[in-house]
């Protein structure tokens, strides 16, 4: 019986040594991932970094709105009605007071007419594009800072969107 007990001890030892040879180690038994050295010393962002991140987020949202405006207007072009003609007709419709330029209130109403509802000043209901995003896009179009966007400012900015979309579609087609 003493020999049988030693045989059992040797077989369990062999099993254990077999596990080690199979690549098991204590690191495979960890329950949770370990943090890299110094990861617990994360420094919170400064006020300037937070402001910069917020500005980038706002600019990104304005860019998305701008693409939506462009797509909405671009979808109205055909072989018979070129982009300039469609953009000019849309701008004339947006200029409700006939001054040749669009102020912020008219700009917001123009977004509504394109189906891009705004949160505060738009149609009744919930949701919509936040007012600060609309303001950011308006200021992007208002290059001279006059508080109004004329047709040249509007058209030139839309051409930038068209060029960016054309470049992206060319990259997508080649990749």
71-75, 133-137, 161-165: segment of lowest average pLDDT: 161-165
Q: Look at the pTM and tell me if it is higher than 0.75.
A: no
Mean pLDDT across the chain: 75
d(CA 175, CA 173): 6
Return the structure tokens found at 69. 């405006």
103, 147 in Cβ contact below 8 A?
A: yes
d(CA 92, CA 155): 12
Question: For residue 149, what are the contacts with CB-CB under 8 A and spacing of at least 6?
Answer: 101, 102, 107, 138, 141, 142
Mean of pLDDT values over 15-19: 46
d(CA 74, CA 81): 11
Strand spans (E) along 84-157: 101-103, 148-150
Return the structure tokens found at 169. 């579609």
- Per-residue pLDDT, 175: 47
Question: For residue 121, what are the contacts with CB-CB under 8 A and spacing of at least 6?
Answer: 105, 108, 131
What would the pLDDT profile of 84-110 be if each residue is shown by its tens digit? Answer: 788 888 899 899 999 999 999 999 988
């Amino acid at each position: 019986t003493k020999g049988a007990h030693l045989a059992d001890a040797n077989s369990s030892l062999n099993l254990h040594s077999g596990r080690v040879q199979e690549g098991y180690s204590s690191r495979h038994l960890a329950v949770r991932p370990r943090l890299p050295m110094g990861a617990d010393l994360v420094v919170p962002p400064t006020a300037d970094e937070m402001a910069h991140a917020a500005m980038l987020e706002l600019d990104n949202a304005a860019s998305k709105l701008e693409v939506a405006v462009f797509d909405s207007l671009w979808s109205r072009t055909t072989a018979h009605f070129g982009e300039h003609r469609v953009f000019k007709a849309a701008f004339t419709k947006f200029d409700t007071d006939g001054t040749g330029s669009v102020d912020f209130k008219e700009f917001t109403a123009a977004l509504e007419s394109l189906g891009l509802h705004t949160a505060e000043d738009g149609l009744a209901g919930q949701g919509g594009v936040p007012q600060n995003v609309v303001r950011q896009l308006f200021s992007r179009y208002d290059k001279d800072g006059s508080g109004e966007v004329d047709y040249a400012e509007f058209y030139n900015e839309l051409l930038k969107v068209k060029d960016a979309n054309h470049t992206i579609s060319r990259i997508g087609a080649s990749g």
